[in-house]
Amino acid sequence: MLELRLVQGSLLKKLLEAIKDLVTDANFDCSATGFSLQAMDSSHVALVSLLLRSEAFEHYRCDRNISMGLNLSNMAKVLRCSGPDDIITLKADDGGDSLTFMFESPNQDKIADFEMKLMDIDSEHLGIPDTEYQAIVRMPSAEFARICKDLSGIGDTIAISVTKEGVKFSTRGDIGSANIVCRQNTSVDKPEDATIIEMEEPVTLTFALRYINSFTKATPLSNQVTLSLSSDLPVVVEYKIAEMGYIRFYLAPKIDE
Amino acid sequence: GSRQSRITSFFTKK
């Protein structure tokens, strides 16, 4: 028996909006730790890993570890039927072939339930090694989204370069080139407006911009984004969900030949 | 030129 009650139901809605265009079908795993997902895009260039810890739920009952295969685009459609302040409860029976979504309005005057059929999905879990990154950049997530959107009008790739000067985002295309430099800035009124750069060594990596742009669909989940970079390794683009969990995107770099 | 690497060449199956 699985029963998960999420008072801030909009979190689940935002998570699905963030991943539905990147991944088609995926298994949601439920265990004592929480509600999680790990999946790759169809080209195996990007990987998404998300977790909503059990503490994020008002009520969390998961009698045994369960993996539920779902089509994410359909799940996003179901979640779009919930109101912005609805409480969302997920329910599944042991050995059942469906997942029920229950939406309760905050004043309990409307209750809706949607049942989705589960799918069998072959998926391989990848082990993500612990890495000491050469550079870690924390910045406002809206600023990062804006930069990626602006650069995608010019080119198809993004070079992210961290030096003592700051973090530089560059692209190049038929019409020309663009460079945007953000410097460390901690003298802000609100901590979420800060840009913090921790650098062990300078690092430059190049990525396909359309993936990074797709990751920024997670912007509504967090005011800050963290980029972790090391030479010749996938970048990690992480949005922390308050004390409740995270969504991390890993993107394989473009490699010079 | 540059080539797109795959995530599976960095992270291995559990």
At residue A95 the predicted structure's pLDDT band, cuts being 50, 70 and 90, is: confident
pLDDT score recorded for residue B8: 94
With a CB-CB cutoff of 8 Å, which residues 30-49 of chain A face chain B? 40, 43-47
What's the rounded mean pLDDT across residues A225-233?
97
At B3 the pLDDT is 95
Categorize the per-residue pLDDT at B14 as very low, low, confident or very high, splitting at 50, 70 and 90: confident
CB contact under 8 A, A47 and B7: yes
CB contact under 8 A, A127 and B14: yes
Three-class DSSP labels, chain A: CEEEEECCCHHHHHHHHHHCCCCCEEEEEECCCEEEEEEECCCCCEEEEEEEEHHHCCEEEECCCEEEEEEHHHHHHHHCCCCCCCEEEEEECCCCCEEEEEEECCCCCCEEEEEEECECCCCCCEECCCCCCCEEEEEEHHHHHHHHHHHHCCCCEEEEEEECCEEEEEEEECCEEEEEEECCECCCCCHHHCEEEEECCCEEEEEEHHHHHHHHHHHHHCCEEEEEECCCCCEEEEEEECCCEEEEEEECCEEEC
Return the pLDDT at A94: 86
Length of chain A: 257
pLDDT at A206 over 90: yes
Out of B3, B7, B13, name the one closest to residue A250 (CB): B7
Query: How far off is chain A from B1, nearest CA to CA, in Å?
Result: 6
- Chain B residues with CB under 8 Å of A29 CB are none
Question: Considering only alpha carbons, which residue of chain A is nearest residue B2?
Answer: A256
Distance in Å, alpha carbon of A224 to nearest chain B alpha carbon: 25
Measure CB to CB from residue A253 to each of B1, B5, B11 and give the nearest one.
Answer: B5
Our CA angle for A127, A128, A131, nearest 5°, is 145
Quote the pLDDT of residue B12.
86
Mean pLDDT for all residues in chain A = 96
Q: Average pLDDT, stretch A24-44?
A: 96
Q: What is the pLDDT of residues A162-200, one digit of tens each?
A: 999 899 999 999 999 999 999 999 999 999 999 999 999
| Residue A68 tokens, joined | 């539920």
Residue with tokens 């990147």: A22
Alpha-carbon distance A193 to A206, whole Å? 26
pLDDT of residue B13: 84
Residue B4: strand pairing partners: A254
Confidence tier at A107 by pLDDT (50, 70, 90): very high
* Nearest residue to A99 via CA among A78, A73, A124: A78
Interchain proximity A47–B3, CB inside 8 Å? no
**How many percent of chain A have pLDDT more than 90?**
95
Residue A122's pLDDT is 87
Contact A135, A164 (CB under 8 A): no
For chain B, say whether A251 makes contact (Cβ under 8 Å).
yes
Contacts of B4 in chain A (CB under 8 A): 45, 208, 252, 254-255
CA distance A250 to chain B (A): 8
Q: What count of CB pairs under 8 Å joins A to B?
A: 59
Looking at CA atoms only, how far is residue B9 from chain A in angstroms? 9
Over range A102-117, report the average pLDDT.
96
ipTM of the complex: 0.96
* Per-residue pLDDT tens over the stretch A128-166: 999 999 999 999 999 999 999 999 999 999 999 999 989
